[in-house]
Structure 1
Amino acid sequence: MQIIKSIQNRIYEIRGERVMLDFDLALLYEVETKALNQAVKRNIKRFPDDFMFQLTTYEWQDIATQMDSLLSNNINTNRSQIVTGSQKHRGNLPYAFTEQGVAMLSGVLKSDKAINMNIAIMRAFVDVRRVLLKQSNINEQLTEIKERIGEHDVQLSELYDAMENLIDEKIAQLKWNDRQRIGFKIKE
């Protein structure tokens, strides 16, 4: 469970896709980033643009900023791993692998560690998707509740208006009954 949490912290959203960066994957697979990228380049036909893409300078700066804020907010994060990963890419921009790209890595990297880690990564992606689906469902329910509350507000307003009219009529009736009578009084 701890490994899945660790993996989930390494999943970023870039270009509308949930991705993992090459140096994080290399760290998890216990290989050098250079070796991982070489294995990918040797099998580049397996990695179309929707499986893997290289970050732009702007995207990389954005991710590096997120990592820095993670470091300052979380004392449990292993700073040396993240700093080492970001230093490796000072000259080169990192590659981002989508869920399908990570799955394809299992066919490229054959070590037992890589296979076991790939299974854990796939589980982490599934957990992230599950959480997002639950959040989407909750958002739909909240929208429905807001609509119902809006309808109820209108109905309550109409009810209050009707009650005010009834109260006004009762007050008018009481005033009519309590008025001073004029004319002939008949004693019974």
Structure 2
Amino acid sequence: MSAELAITEEFIMSKILLIRNQKVMIDRDLAELYGVTTGNLNKSVKRNFFRFPEDFMFQLTKEEFEILIFQNGTSSWGGTRKLPFVFTEQGVAMLSSVLNSEQAVKVNIHIIRVFTKMRDYLINNLNLSLEIELIKKKLTNQDKNIELVFSYLDELIDKQDNKVERTKIGFKK
């Protein structure tokens, strides 16, 4: 089975984090996916540093790294000596040009597709939210009154459904 098929979208999504209001992946996770060591991934990046401006890749601060460890429970990073680098979607795309293995290219394509799906999903949800807000603004006072009547009717129906059957008093036939 190829590396592309073995890695699920859910797994990749679990590795995408929001740091500094950007969706990023940590160097360690990317190295694992590409089948290389973190050190070798970072060496390749440093040899081609000019390809990775700050909007493609940045190094976490000590505070950001501590928050990341805290959010993930116990540290799975072990004895990390250097603060990790994180890569934005553009940085992940650029990695395919500096990592030349077939697995790295296949995994990279898969990761970029997941980033694209996430972006499309967020855009669609934003559009839906904007449409709902637009509809709310278009409601006139009359519409709001009708809405109020329907909410009262719903309450009455709920009360009717929750009524307990009472025993009848009086003569029985």
TM-score range, shorter chain: 0.7 to 0.9
Q: 1:22 to 1:88 in 2, by over 3 A?
A: farther
* TM-score using structure 1 length: 0.68
> Larger Cα Rg: Structure 1 or Structure 2?
1
Q: Indicate whether 1:44 and 2:44 are aligned.
A: no
Residues 137-174 of structure 1 show CA distances to partners (whole Å, capped at 9, x for unaligned) of 1211221232234x2457639xx9xxxxxxxxxxxxxx
Q: Write the letter of the residue equivalent to 1:138.
A: L
Q: Structure 1, unaligned stretches of length 5 or more? A: 72-81, 161-188
Q: Which residue pairs with 1:63 in the alignment? A: 68
Total equivalences in the alignment: 142
Give the distance between the partners of 1:45 and 1:112, measured in 2 at CA.
Answer: 23
Q: CA deviation at 1:97?
A: 0.5
Q: 1:94 to 1:155 in 2, by over 3 A?
A: closer
Q: Indicate whether 1:97 and 2:87 are aligned.
A: yes
List aligned pairs for 1:8-23, cutoff 5 A: 8-23=13-28
Residues 105-137 of structure 1 show CA distances to partners (whole Å, capped at 9, x for unaligned) of 001000011010000000010011011111101
Q: Indicate whether 1:106 and 2:96 are aligned.
A: yes
Query: Match of 2:36, SS?
Result: coil
Residues 29-80 of structure 1 show CA distances to partners (whole Å, capped at 9, x for unaligned) of 0111011001101111111111110001121122222322xx8xxxxxxxxx
Q: Write the letter of the residue equivalent to 2:89.
A: E
Give the distance between the partners of 1:107 and 1:39, measured in 2 at CA.
Answer: 10
Among the aligned pairs, what percent are the same residue?
Answer: 41
Query: Match of 2:23, SS?
Result: strand
Q: Which residue pairs with 2:145 in the alignment? A: 156
* TM-score using structure 2 length: 0.74
Q: CA deviation at 1:3?
A: 1.6
RMSD: 2.2
Q: Indicate whether 1:29 and 2:34 are aligned.
A: yes
Q: Which residue pairs with 1:165 in the alignment? A: none
Structure with more of its chain in helix, by fraction: 1
Q: CA deviation at 1:104?
A: 0.6
